[in-house]
Amino acid sequence: MSPKSKHSETHFTAGEVIRDIVIGMSDGLTVPFALAAGLSGAIANSGLVVTAGVAEVAAGSIAMGLGGYLAARGEAEHYDKERHREWCEVKEMPEEESREIFEIFRAYGLKDEEIQPVVAGLERNHEHWIDFMMKYELALDKPDPNRGLISALVIAGSYIVGGIVPLLPYMIYSDSHFALMISALVTVLALFVFGYVKGRFTGSKPFRSAFQTAVVGTLAALAAFTIAKLISPH
């Protein structure tokens, strides 16, 4: 490498957003699909399936989005609580906190004489000291203050996008049983593609992820369809 060449590293940093997309999309594809399949086992009118499906997508996206918001707020509150506790410990028992820094670095094979200057530097700045303890003792990163709203919007939007897929055939065909066959093909394909993309982003084996995602969605719809058939009047 020449002295003038600039080294650059590319890391995937959108893990939280991808996680929210996975949560919203997987449920959005699976739950309305299972609902539509179950209703198709009991009624032949696609209009009723669409009405129920749209209502479920609306309610589900709101509930999932709210869940994502509350989860993000919970993480932020937990971080603030732990940071306050660390602040009190640094003020009231600095020797114990300094000893914990030594223990953290010893785990990486550093000697005490190599650790001492770092400890002295952190002791001069309590904010950095607390930041260090939060990250390396408690493994907690400072949450994005906008995380709750972003999480809610991403999860809800992904749920809506996923939920539209299994309902589209019912919007096109009036016969719910025929629409179910088309919906099953389209949704299983969408689940497979989504599982593959999810595997690529999350680092797992793409085809295994695709197969598992498609199987889970199919089993959920099959179970709902079978139950509706068994309990519906003949």
3-state secondary structure of 216: helix
Task: Read off the pLDDT band of 233 (50, 70, 90).
Answer: low
3-state secondary structure of 173: coil
Q: Is pLDDT above 90 for 58?
A: yes
**Is 190 or 6 the better-scoring residue by pLDDT?**
190
pLDDT tens-digit map of 142-200: 888 888 899 999 999 999 999 999 999 999 998 888 988 898 899 889 889 888 888 88
Selection from 56, 70, 69, 49 nearest residue 27 by Cα: 56
Q: What angle do CA 224, 226, 227 make, to 5 degrees?
A: 65
- Which DSSP string do the residues of 9-54 spell out, in sequence order? ------HHHHHHHHHHHHHHHHHHHHHHHHHHTT--BHHHHHHHHH
Cβ atoms of 223 and 204 closer than 8 Å: no
3-state secondary structure of 219: helix
Question: What's the pLDDT at 12?
Answer: 42
Q: At 46, which amino acid appears?
A: S
Question: What's the pLDDT at 13?
Answer: 41
Task: Read off the pLDDT band of 35 (50, 70, 90).
Answer: confident
Q: Is pLDDT above 70 for 20?
A: yes
With a CB cutoff of 8 Å and minimum separation 6, the contacts of 160 are: 28, 57, 61
Question: What's the pLDDT at 10?
Answer: 43
Cβ atoms of 66 and 155 closer than 8 Å: no
The single-letter DSSP state of residue 145 is T
Angle of the 15-40 helix axis to the 147-172 helix axis, nearest 10: 30
The helix (H) or strand (E) run that includes residue 213 is helix 206-231
Percent of the chain with pLDDT over 90: 35
In angstroms, the CA 88 to CA 104 distance is: 20
pLDDT tens-digit map of 71-98: 989 999 999 999 999 999 988 998 999 9
**Is 226 or 145 the better-scoring residue by pLDDT?**
145
